[in-house]
Amino acid sequence: MRYLSIYFTNLLCDYLAIKKPELKDKVYVFTMSQGNRIMVTASSKEAEKQGIFANSVLADAKALVPDILAFDDKIDFNKKLLIRIGKWAIRYSPIVAIDLPDGIILDSSGCSHLLGGEEKYLESILNKLKESGYNCRGAISDTIGTSWAVARLGRKSPIIGQGQQYNALLNLPPMALRLEQHIIQRLHKLGFDKIGKFIQLPASMLRRRFGQEFLLRLSQALGTEEETIIPIIVKPPYEERLFCLEPIRTKPAIEIAIEKLLQALCERLAKEGLGIRSAELKGYRLDGRVTETKIGTNQPTHLVPHLAKLFELKIDQIEPDLGIELFILTATKTEPVHVAQEKLWSGKPGLADQSLAQLLDRLAGKVGPQAIRRYIPQAHYWPERSLRPAVSLEEKTEIKWQKSNPRPMEMLHKPASIQVTAPIPDYPPMNFRYRDELHLVRKADGPERIEREWWMEPGEHRDYYILEDDKGRRYWVFRSGHYDEEHSAWFLHGFFA
């Protein structure tokens, strides 16, 4: 295993200087209340030149610099900032963890060769961070402890060879082992100002004088005791990455990248009998921003040409700007693929037809998935409750559609009030007015009485009529309750094809 530790020498102040460039040469600090005093938690370079450092009292700092600028250090702000930087660093390693209060750790195993070796790998990451405005140091070694120590206190090469932790630690002070302050003070009182002066002492003697925690930190740095990190984002089980040797900007190059990612991902899914229901493509640009593109399918599939066609419809939404250096394709939702037995003679496969599912996927990519709906019947008499949206093409129900009394192709979410002229009770209307347009009725069928489901809500019954006007348009209208000359109310509820 190889670990990269990155140490930010003044994280909060660097961040503020990035957000507010006018503070570059100003004396400013971050402060936090501790008891009855306001303490300095971080200070800018100009403040340090004036002798103002972290853990100073703000009143003392103002005595040195009366016009000093003080900003509130919000609780866990540095943690949130490190998480944001860590997410950015995922482009260099799939496993990134924050190292409070001032660093991040990357599992660089198998990653450095993509940039030409560990030296170029480390140099590339640090240069990107410094270009953004952060002052930082980094080191790579076999253990988290040694990388942490060299990044903060090392003065020679930041790349520690395999198995060279022992030699790298010899000339470093005890604080390089991430020890508590009282243990460090005790070591200095005994003359152990360097790790090399006590590293060869018997473990029993070190445990008796400094405790088990001391031995654990030393063993972790040397690699004899295992140490793990908690990643910021757990790598999804179905994800593929493509690191570009040169930044990609053109549409043909993006299509090639997507096809390569799909081939690798779909090959894995096919071996496990799974297909993609939704997928996400992320492109990490040179300017540090991330572009995101998502697709969805009506049926699980691992067919590369079909999925590539869906992404092709979304390529225009990708903004490469100066170029994309890393693509990450993730199958955010997968389901088992059930391969249907092909029939000897051609028939009517209906919703089981793969070409139909692929057509719906392409239409959804163009007009949006919300524009395509499929409904299935429910066990209700009341029209508004007699159907519901289907979750997928495969969803089935034992309830059959009503065929004796046809229902309109389009039904209003809320019935619209209309003005009706009817000759006598229980006769269909002669005409009706809807949206300021008078419709003369030429044909009519009804009534069909539908009682309200009294166990769900009280109310009147409805008498429905199918009406055809003089222009051949057909409507589904109803009268609410029994006929009443003064209070009879009519409504339009749907439109037939």
H or E stretch at 431:
strand 431-434
Asked whether residue 357 is domain-assigned, the answer is: no
Tens digits of per-residue pLDDT, 436-474? 899 999 999 988 898 888 888 888 889 999 999 999 999
β-sheet bridge partners, residue 474:
468
Model confidence pTM above 0.85: no
Pick left, alpha or beta for residue 76 (phi over 0 → left; psi -120 to 50 → alpha; otherwise beta): left
Q: Which two tokens stand for residue 199?
A: 């590293």
What φ, ψ does residue 40 adopt, rounded to 5°?
Answer: -85, 125
Q: Which two tokens stand for residue 240?
A: 């593929």
Asked whether residue 297 is domain-assigned, the answer is: yes
Residue spans of the chain under pLDDT 50: 344-345
Distance (Å, whole) CA 145 – CA 222: 8
Percent of the chain with pLDDT over 70: 94
Domain count, the chain: 2
Distance (Å, whole) CA 349 – CA 393: 13
Asked whether residue 368 is domain-assigned, the answer is: no
Asked whether residue 341 is domain-assigned, the answer is: no
Distance (Å, whole) CA 460 – CA 416: 16
Distance (Å, whole) CA 122 – CA 140: 8
Half-sphere exposure of 369 (CA within 13 A, CB side): 14
Asked whether residue 116 is domain-assigned, the answer is: no
Is the Cβ–Cβ distance between 93 and 107 less than 8 Å? yes
Domain coverage including residue 246: 239-335
Distance (Å, whole) CA 255 – CA 491: 53
Residue with structure tokens 């289907």? 390
Is the Cβ–Cβ distance between 445 and 454 less than 8 Å? no
For 465, residues 6+ apart whose C-beta sits below 8 A from its C-beta are: 428, 429, 444, 445, 446, 447, 448, 476, 477, 478
State whether 328 and 416 are in the same domain.
no
Give the pLDDT confidence score for residue 381 in this predicted structure.
79
Is the Cβ–Cβ distance between 176 and 195 less than 8 Å? yes
Is the Cβ–Cβ distance between 375 and 389 less than 8 Å? yes
Asked whether residue 279 is domain-assigned, the answer is: yes
Here the CATH number for the domain that contains residue 330 is 3.30.1490.100
Distance (Å, whole) CA 22 – CA 252: 42
Burial 108-126 (b: 16+ CB within 10 A, else e): beebbebbeebeebbeebb
Domain boundary among 281, 311, 335: 335
Domain boundary among 280, 303, 335: 335
Q: Decide the pairing of beta strands 69-72 and 28-34.
A: parallel
Domain boundary among 283, 316, 335: 335
State whether 329 and 416 are in the same domain.
no
Distance (Å, whole) CA 383 – CA 406: 12
